[in-house]
Every structure is written in structure tokens, then in C-alpha cells.
């Protein structure tokens, strides 16, 4: 199998991380892969914030859970009220992805960049998990969301939408989830 396909099939969501930090030079290479994603009209409407400060990551997790405690879905409230649940699974680094609000297809473009990052991380033997949960912190503009946007130096006109947790996996093999069948038809 070629190397690219192998990396795509190997990528799994990792939720148990070692404490070991990721070298900054590797983080930069991983983000570069994100910036090479396609984007509508080549707007590249993304901004990446790399956070590797444990205290800050714990605080973001705590504040996000506080907001999610009022979520209409019981499933989400269940995570939010679980004291053991850390939204980034105690990963040593995260990349917070913000999209340019008045771009043409910013969420789609950021999703493409995110997948590139997940695959690049996999190629370096680094575990990753797409974390949408953090979006609860930024969905509505509140005093707390404004405080974070300022503290994290998110550029004006951009809004955080999701994050990627990154670190070295504690597990050698993460089970492959069941994949749906019959999701394709060929018209010749
Ligand atoms: C849009 C999106 C949002 C996600 N949000 C979360 C999340 O908040 N927390 C989490 O643990 N996993 C999250 N995931 C990861 C999915 O749960 C995971 O991709 C799925 O279960 C399939 O597993 P795999 O990534 O190992 O193939 C998200 C994935 C996507 C694409």
C-alpha cells in the first residue's frame, strides 16, 4: 500500500496521551500541512493557535464544561458534569482553529485544513483528536468568550470553531471503529 493511503487508514482519534511534549519544529511542520489544504477561492480563512500550557488547557476545559452543563442534549450535559472528563484528554498541546467569519466557505475550508493536520500528525507518529466540544466556549459572544479571544490573540474577524488535541498516544493500537457499508455507488 502506498504511504499516503497507509497514513489515512492508520489515523485514529486518540484520547489517551503521554505527558511528553511535541517538539515545536514538528508542530510547525504539522501546521504547514494544514495551510496547504484547498480552500474556496483560495481564501485560506483559517488561523491556528497552538496552546501547550497545561494550566491554560485545564482552564479552557473547565470553562467549556461549565457552559456545556446547560446544553439541551443530556449526552453533552453528561460529559460536562463528569469531573474526570477533560475536553482535550490531557493532551500536551492543542491547535485551536479559528475561521474567518465573512469568508465564502470558512467551516468547510477549516475542516479540510484540520484533516491535513490530523494526517500530518499521524505521519509523525503523533496521536490526535478533533475536538468540537471546545466550540461551546465560543458559540455565543459572552464576557468569558471575549476574554479568551483577547488572551489567545485571535485576529479580529475570526472565531474559534474547534480544536485538535495532539500528543503521543499511550496505546499502541487504537481500535478501528465500525465503518458503514454501502455508502458509494458507481454510475458508469
Ligand atoms: C466534526 C467532528 C467533531 C468531533 N468532535 C469530537 C469531540 O468533541 N470529542 C471527541 O472526543 N471526538 C470528536 N470527534 C472525533 C470522532 O468522535 C471520531 O472521528 C469518530 O468517532 C471516528 O473515530 P476515528 O477518528 O478513530 O476514525 C469529532 C470528529 C469530527 C469530524
Query: Using CA positions, which residue lies closest to atom 28 of ligand 1?
Result: 130
Q: Residue 53 Cα, ligand 1 centroid: separation in angstroms?
A: 23
pLDDT in tens, the chain (188 residues): 899 999 999 999 999 999 999 999 999 999 999 999 999 999 999 999 999 999 999 999 999 999 999 999 999 999 999 999 999 999 999 999 999 999 999 999 999 999 999 999 999 999 999 999 999 999 999 999 999 999 999 999 999 999 999 999 999 999 999 999 999 999 99
Q: Is the CB of 161 under 6 A from ligand 1?
A: no
pLDDT at 149: 98
Q: Residue 1 Cα, ligand 1 centroid: separation in angstroms?
A: 25
Give 3: exposed, middle or buried? Use CB within 10 Å, 0-12, 13-18, 19+. exposed
| SS3 assignment, position 33 | helix
Distance CA 32, CA 124 (A): 13
pLDDT at 111: 98
143-151 vs 54-68: helix axis angle to the nearest 10? 160
Q: What is the pLDDT of residues 34-68, one digit of tens each?
A: 999 999 999 999 999 999 999 999 999 999 999 99
Phi first, then psi: what are they for 17, rounded to 5°? -115, 150
pLDDT at 90: 98
Query: Using CA positions, which residue lies closest to atom 9 of ligand 1?
Result: 131
Query: Using CA positions, which residue lies closest to atom 1 of ligand 1?
Result: 132
Q: For residue 114, give the H/E element and its range.
A: helix 106-123
Q: Which of 8, 130, 136 to mutate to test the pocket of ligand 1 (most atoms within 8 A of CB)?
A: 130
Q: Residue 128 Cα, ligand 1 centroid: separation in angstroms?
A: 10
Q: Residue 187 Cα, ligand 1 centroid: separation in angstroms?
A: 31
Q: Is the CB of 88 under 6 A from ligand 1?
A: no
Query: Using CA positions, which residue lies closest to atom 27 of ligand 1?
Result: 12
In the chain, what are the domain boundaries? 12-167
Distance CA 98, CA 47 (A): 5
Q: Residue 188 Cα, ligand 1 centroid: separation in angstroms?
A: 34
Residues 31, 8 contacting (CB under 8 angstroms)? no
Asked whether the CA dihedral 58, 64, 66, 69 is positive or negative, the reply is negative
pLDDT at 1: 82
Q: So what's the architecture of 12-167 in CATH?
A: 3-Layer(aba) Sandwich (3.40)
Average pLDDT over the chain, rounded to an integer: 97
74-81 vs 54-68: helix axis angle to the nearest 10? 140
Amino acid at each position: 500500500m502506498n504511504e499516503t493511503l497507509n497514513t489515512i487508514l492508520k489515523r485514529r482519534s486518540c484520547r489517551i496521551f503521554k505527558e511528553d511534549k511535541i517538539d515545536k519544529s514538528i508542530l510547525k511542520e504539522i501546521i504547514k500541512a494544514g495551510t496547504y489544504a484547498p480552500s474556496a477561492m483560495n481564501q485560506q480563512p483559517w488561523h491556528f493557535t497552538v496552546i501547550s500550557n497545561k494550566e491554560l488547557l485545564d482552564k479552557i476545559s473547565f470553562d467549556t464544561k461549565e457552559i456545556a452543563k446547560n446544553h439541551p442534549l443530556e449526552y453533552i450535559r453528561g460529559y460536562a458534569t463528569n469531573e474526570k472528563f477533560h475536553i482535550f484528554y490531557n493532551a500536551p498541546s492543542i491547535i485551536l482553529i479559528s475561521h474567518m467569519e465573512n469568508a465564502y466557505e470558512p467551516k468547510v475550508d477549516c475542516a479540510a485544513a484540520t484533516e491535513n493536520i490530523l494526517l500530518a500528525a499521524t505521519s509523525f507518529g503523533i496521536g490526535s483528536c478533533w475536538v468540537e466540544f471546545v466550540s461551546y466556549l465560543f458559540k455565543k459572544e459572552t464576557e468569558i468568550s471575549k476574554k479568551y479571544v483577547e488572551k489567545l490573540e485571535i485576529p479580529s474577524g475570526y472565531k474559534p470553531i474547534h480544536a485538535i488535541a495532539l500528543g503521543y498516544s499511550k496505546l499502541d493500537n487504537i481500535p478501528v471503529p465500525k465503518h458503514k457499508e454501502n455508502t458509494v455507488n458507481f454510475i458508469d
